Each structure stands twice: as structure tokens, then as C-alpha cells.
Amino acid sequence: MTQTVLTAANITHTYELGPHQVTVLHDINIEIRAGEVLLLAGPSGSGKTTLLQILGCLLKPTSGQVIVCGERASGRDSEALAALRLRYFGFVFQAYNLFPVLTATENVMVALDLLGVGKQQAMERARALLIKVGLGERLDSYPSQLSGGQRQRVAIARSMAAGPPILMADEPTAALDAESGQKAMQLFCALAKQNHAVVIVTHDPRIFHLADRIIHLEDGRITRCETAPRRWPHEKESAG
């Protein structure tokens, strides 16, 4: 049986808007398994990004439980949550979130520095990851010298640096053309094949066929869940 690495139980989230309380998530229940690509899909305002942030322990829910690899996230302070994220998660964002004054190699090294990895070892690991995502010729390039697709690959390499069991991506293909988006998805699918859980927020139908499951949200509620055998893309490069 495939291992469950992340569980969300009865998740509700509200925020204050003037004198009113707005509920953006209503009683969400999800189990996420190692080795799967799970998409959170829905229109803008459906709550999918808020849900991703709660699943990734970036945001505390108003009520409910998040359990990561057997550890409860609820009740932890900010420092303990940061340690939990560092141990179990890698994050990829639509805006890439790369440091403009650092090279591709140095951007990946940042994640390893947080883990206390020595400089030489971090550099070797960062360069190996960039080669595996197809950027062997751009190791010393700055973000401004890279295309959108290449910057996203740097971000994916950085998310993989610590070998986390769970990868979280927020609209990773939205700003990319079709070819670059497919290459990014090849990397995510390759990671799932290596038993990582990959959770992607998207409204990009071009990548739906690559998912094991698609959870559709609307107005903060799960409206349906689709399960289908993933059709693996042909992979020119592997990730690991």
C-alpha cells in the first residue's frame, strides 16, 4: 500500500474583512500519498492557494489538523513549523523567487546552506541538481540571463536540494509557454516516480493529463476528485 505522507483533516480557514469573517476553506479532508502527482484545480478565489499554504505549513488553519509524515503541525510555534517545512517540504512558486544577485548555482546552494551543508559540498550538490534539470550550461548564469522556463528549472532544483518527501508547487506552469511548461512537468513526474509526493496548484488544463489525481475546488469546497492513470511524458532529462 502506498504510504500517506500528508493528511489534512477537517480544515477550515477564515479571515476578517472589516467587521465580517470570510470563510475561504470549508471542512477540507485530503490524504496525499508518496509517488503521486496531485493537482489542486479551480478558478481564482476557489481557495486552492490557501489550501496549499496550509498543507505546506506556511499558514495555520483556523481549525482542523495537518499531519506531515506522522507529525502533527497544529500547536507548533513559528520556529517549530519552520523546522518542519525544512525537513519535509520543497516549494516552487510561479514567480520563481530567485535571488537576482546570485547565480543559478548559488540560488540552489541557499537551500543547502539552511541545512548546514558545507560550501564545497553544497556547490557540488547544486551543480549536480542543475545538470539533472538540464541546465548544465547555465550553472553560472544569473536569473536575468535565463528564460522563464530556465528560471523555473532553477527553482525546481532548489526545491529538490534537501531531498524532501513532499514537493509543493503554486502555478508552476502559468507563466510558461507550452513547451517550457511540459518540461517543468517532466521534472515533477520524474520526482513522483522516485516516490516523492508532488502537489501542484493549477488552473492550466495542459497538464491535467499528467496527474494521478485532480481535486477540484470551488468557493472553498472540494467539488469533485478525479483519479486516472497518469500518462508519463517522455523524459529527456531525469530528476533526482
Q: State CA 235 to chain mean position distance.
A: 20
**Which helix (DSSP H) or strand (DSSP E) does residue 29 occupy?**
strand 20-33
Going from the N-terminus, what domains does the chain have, and what CATH number goes with each? Answer: 4-95+166-227 (3.40.50.300)
d(CA 12, CA 157): 32
pLDDT value at 228 more than 80: no
Helix (H, G, I), strand (E, B) or coil at 136: coil
If you ran DSSP here, which 8-state letter would residue 2 be given?
P
d(CA 188, CA 169): 9
pLDDT value at 100 more than 90: yes
pLDDT band at 230, cuts 50/70/90?
A: low
- Work out the mean pLDDT of the chain and round it to a whole number: 89
Q: What is the pLDDT of residue 205?
A: 87
